[in-house]
Structure 1
Amino acid sequence: MAVPVKLQSNRLYTKLLLAFTVTVTILILGLSALLYQNYSSASLANENRLRTSMLNQISYSMNYMDNLAHKFMSSAIVGSNVPNLLYNQNDDKMVLDNALRNLDMLVVTNDYVYSVYTISLSLDRIASTEDGGFYSALSFYDQDVISLLQKWDDQDLSTMPIARRIPKANSSSGFINVYSYILPFQLDPGKHPSQAVVVNIKSNALRELIASLNNKIDDTGNDIIVIDSNGTVVNHAEENMFLRNIRDEEYIRTVLDSDQATGSFKTTIDGQSYNIAYVSSQSLNWKFISRISYQSFMSPVDAVKSSTLFTSIVVLFLGFLCSFFMSKSIYSPFGRLIETVRLKSDELDRKQRNHRQSLRNHWLKDLLLGNKDAAHKELLSQTAELGIKTDLTGSLRIIVFRLDHYRMFLDKYNERERGLLKYGIANIIETITSGEFTSDVIEMDSDKLVLLLESTGSEEEASNILTLVKSIQHLVHDYLHFSLSAAISETIESRALLSETYSDTLALSMYRMIAGHGSILTPTFRSSIRTEPSPFPEGKAKLLLDSLKLGHLDKVKKYFDEFVHGLVDAPYETMLSSYIHLMFMISSSFHSVADNSNSRISNAFHTYFSKIDYFETIEEIHQTFDSLFSEIVLTVDSMKHNKRNIVVDRIKKMIEEKYPDKNLNLSILAEEFQMSNVYLGRLFKEATGESVAEYITKVRMAQVKQLLNESNLSTKEILEKCGWEDLNYFYTLFKKHFGVSLSQYRLLIKSSDHQGTNGLDLNPFELVEE
């Protein structure tokens, strides 16, 4: 019985082994196919991303040149040079030569400008900076530009710049490729301009950029082309392609017909597969196209396909052998033991790795802060021991990243959460950078992270670093919803300058206050800042304080804007100290206001002085000043209003006490309050709606009515007690005030006495109406 049982057991084991082998085979083949497909898709996506980035770089360069051309035209037409060349009818050679020479000096200082023409068809005079000559319309060597001007249409402004091949002056066969900008003067609707300035920009700069990018692509047939909306080539690595119309090419028509700003697609040219990527420039209405053969970037994928297939076969064979020679009864105990050992080993490795990462960050941090000066031998040993990837003995570059809105970051997250978020940011920086540079990420104190990378110092590398920093900013914003600002240093050749360079780059990052959140600051930015400290704008500050005291909020904001404009290119320390000085002047001028009437003003002063280091941008400082200005103006207005009410109440009280005085009038009251008659009268009128004289009359009439109703005094005695002197004037005023004469009023009082009213609540108006 034992043999059959054993045989049955072996057969069952064989079936299980076969089922396991088939399952593993199918699984590995499926995973291999999926891996190959994903790798192919990733390679194509990565290639499209690289192509698009390259085309965006070319588009940005052309847009930048377009902006420079417009700025050049704006500066060229300023002054008298261009008007003299266009409109001066005297043909004064000295004046014209001097104007053309000044215009030529402007051309010389801008190396991207090839030449400038001033065309005055009405004077039949054309001047060219290329050879410094004057021409008539018929003798001018560039007849094409005259034809363009004579056919000028209002829509032509939207086609700038115009790609042209123009002849060289004093040459019968030489030509040069340019982009022309035509600025017409006195353009009347329906008429062609007779005066214009033409600026010719060299196309070589963009062509050289395209040629340099093409040199990186070795395969034949790969190309970068720039076309306009008609399919005409406006730039290419080969000069003979300039102005050639290639609209008949199928892929060109596809790009022109697309309504997408960017895109990519696959096409076939001469029997070979190509990947087409394109980018559009809205301002220029140009298309930037990259054409690259699939073979150029898919050959590594094919190699992966072969290696994957070979690896799968080897893995299957080894798996079959292992499955065949092992049994469950023998393998299970060892398997559990190995798994336990592996888990403990992984845990030990993880602890050691985390500890080493902490030591590496601390050591590099001390190196940047100048707390450590390692010798060459120690440097090499620490680099190997701590796993530092950067070669600290070579050329280096520092990028300081600063977390924007750091105060909000501190308030929103606890210490553990902040540590995890900063680790996440550092991980993004390290992941993005590792694909192009050898680098290390160092977590500094508070809001700073430093990227230390190896550098070659080339211009291309500087451009790649800018692209890299922008990618990091976008990813941190998309994934973690944080904004980063960055400051990039120059390349340093000596490790001895590392600490000094870090300090300079950190100081450069402080100019985030000017550039704003999410900015990228390079050493060229610092060149736009004045090196010498600018004086404090004392005059503007005094005008601002005077307007603030008067409550003129519009003037306050106007002078504050002028104050800010005067500090726009000042050093960071000067700018910050100027704002502190201004706030101190305001605090000193309105100290009593802040202490006595409005706690919010006092809080604003305290907030500014205690948290000045937390302000990251000028906008935050400006918001503090704007709110403070509004609070002060409201408080000053309120105090003025309260003061006016107090004065008016005192005037009323004085009138109610001195109404029997026959000499009581506006002048006596003004003298009593030490105010001018006009000011006191206007103040009382604005507060009560009636003049001082009207109020005196009102009080006296009220007293007359009371005495008539409650006493038996004669009219003369009543007038004596109420301050009246002119009897006839009193009778007139009484009838005007009460609607009845004095005698009628007395009769009404007697009549009411007989009826039991006693005259106390008598209303003469009601009685008269009855």
Structure 2
Amino acid sequence: MIANKLTDLAVIRTNLAPDSGALCYILIENTVGGLPMPRMPKKTKQISFMQVMKNQKTFIHILVSFIFVCLAIMLASILFLYNQFSKAAMNEIGSHTQKLLDEQSINYAAKMSSLLDYIQKAVHNEEVLGYALARDNDPFLNYQAWRKLKELKDNQPIIDSIVMQNYYTGNIVDSKVGIYGRSEYPDQQLLTALDQEQGFRGQRLYIRRADYYRSSLRYETDYLSFVSYFQGQASALVVNIDIKALKEYFTHERLLASSNLYILDREQRVVYSPDPAQFQQPYQLMRNNTGNRWYKDQQQMVVYSPFSFFTAPGWTIVQTLPLDSVLHNLYKLRTLTYWFFSIILAVTLFAVWKVSRRIYRPIKNLIEEAVHLHPSDDAIASSADLAVLSQVLRSQKQQISKFQNKLVKSTKQGKEIFIRDLLHRPTHYSASSAAALFKEYELAVSINQLVILVFRMDNYDKFAKQFRYSDQRLIYFAICNVAQELISEVAPVETVDMKSGHIVAICEARGGMEDDFPAIARSVQNKCAELIKISLTAAVSLPVDNPNDLSSEYMQVLELTNERFKGGTGKCWVKGDGIAATESEYSYPEERERQLLSELKLGHQKQVEHHLEKFIEAILPFSYSEIRLSLLKLLLNLSKTAEQLNLALDHSSLGSLKRMEQMLDLLETKEQLIEWLHLTLGGILEQLQLQSVAAGQNQLIALIRQVVQEHLYDPNLSTKMIADELKYSSTYIRQLFKDFSGQSLSEYITDLRLNEVKRRLTETKQSIEDIVQETGFSAVNSFYTIFKRHMGTTPSQYRRQWENDSGKELP
């Protein structure tokens, strides 16, 4: 059995310096089936504790990550649980407090209603009523009234005083202060309020502050004043309740002693509060009419409870509870929770430390193996844990990359990529670096006297539609092989498929043979036409001595193939040979365009075709780029004209500038362009003709309806009569109206006559026979049949049904 060697790295304390705390590495080599044999390094290296920690960064990262995750989870759990529990507890406290307050408000409303009943009985008391109606100022009667009011007041401890105003005698009887004349009575504010309501009958409630002097002493009291006006009289009975006494109605052993009560009226003004200065002031924390709410900024809970009684609807009782008194026990629970989670956290951290060591052990063993595999690499051995693996993997990746690059450069694919980059992008190689690259990619040509041949596919649109993409690539591959075989017989050559409808051949012109390449290009064209049945347009460049100029030369030769637009497909063009520049400068034929668009708007087809030919003749002397620019401008103006005429545009050509450019790319020759322009203009002219026909038909329909309206009540009205009057055949009139409206002309006439019959049946008492004769029906019997078929009933039944439904009689 072959023994598998495993290497462990043990960290032990050195015996040389036991007090220094230094550590040293000893490699122990274990052999399966044998005893562990120590293998001492050549030199024992002492390292400090910080160095060990630095070399074990991964372990530290794992440990810190676990601790951070545990802390985050536990902290989030504590906050979530405490928040949820606090919300639940506060909601429960609020609901319980609100329930108690609702019970107290119901009790208070009942007591207030009982008090109002008591006041109502006092108003109807014979003695009180008798005094209110007394017109004599009798001191004895005044005294009797005062005694009665005091008796009524003593029966209800919550009542502060009862005041009787006798309007006839002007006396004021007050159960608290005695009998006064109107001018001597201390509480003049009350008298003013009573005067303002003079003539009112019933009960009123006043919330007021009485501020007056009596015997040189100032009295200030907040009152609820219930005023009862005697029916039919101007006298009034006033019952004053000291607002401070209202709190006694809410004294309850289950309410917190530290809470405060507020009573608010329907305008949310304070009627009662612990602070008298807030009387009749708007309550600042009033945001709800009912329920409870926590105000964190105020550190208190506010509970709302609505209540109402006879003369005071929409009042609210508010109780505020300080946060400290409500959550006192919750704070204790929170402290205990913190201690509990702290203990759990300590246990968790210990478990995390143990788990981290178990997770890190395989990583540590892998690092030791990497150090053992590279014993001579001191940089790797001194690095920190995962950095060792990273450097090893990086070194291996660099080696693999070198092998891959060498493999790619030695293949045909790498060569083609290099040639495409050389033609597409400008380069700045020196002569030596260019020669080195040509040699590295094993190109058959040198860097001097290079000639570019471009072979461009003719009728590319048809070719792309006829063959699948995979078949297209095979055809281009065949063209490259044909060119490679023919050209290599006379000169070194490299061919490449440019993946955009053409191939390129880069040739080396040796010994002044640059004049032979046009003939070579034509032989490639002929061979492809013979073997592959493909037509190619070729272009030949001038010799290039610098590889950095290949990109610009390639673009010029590729543009040269566009000369097939004027000269036709299947030809070979040579740069600088047989292509003369235009003698005059480029100028757009605006007059030709104007004449073309003018005749197009008029719908004159022959004139449009004539001006189109003149326009093409005017732009042909220019270069292809100038011709293309002129055509784009013409198409844009043609599109605007079509929009002005409200014509539907052909979305494959005139929909946008991008579609126009794509269409021009497909039109390789002037013949194809002229054919497409004729089709496009023909479509526009056809739409104009259809618009003209539709307009004439609309006018004829209007005339038909006009004739029908003029002769609607003529029994002889028919399709023939209308056709004779309008000078058209009956068949044409009948079919046109049917196609336009969806119903026959006779049905249209019948509907109009029936509408008039129905109007007369429901608006006049005219006999049915008279209506039939006056509305154009030829016979009564046929009318009945038509009416019943359309309405489902007879005319007389229709008239009776209308009278029954409307409830009206005919005039």
TM-score scaled by structure 1?
A: 0.38
Specify the structure having the higher radius of gyration (Cα): 2
User: Which structure's residues are more often helix, by fraction?
Assistant: 1
TM-score scaled by structure 2?
A: 0.36
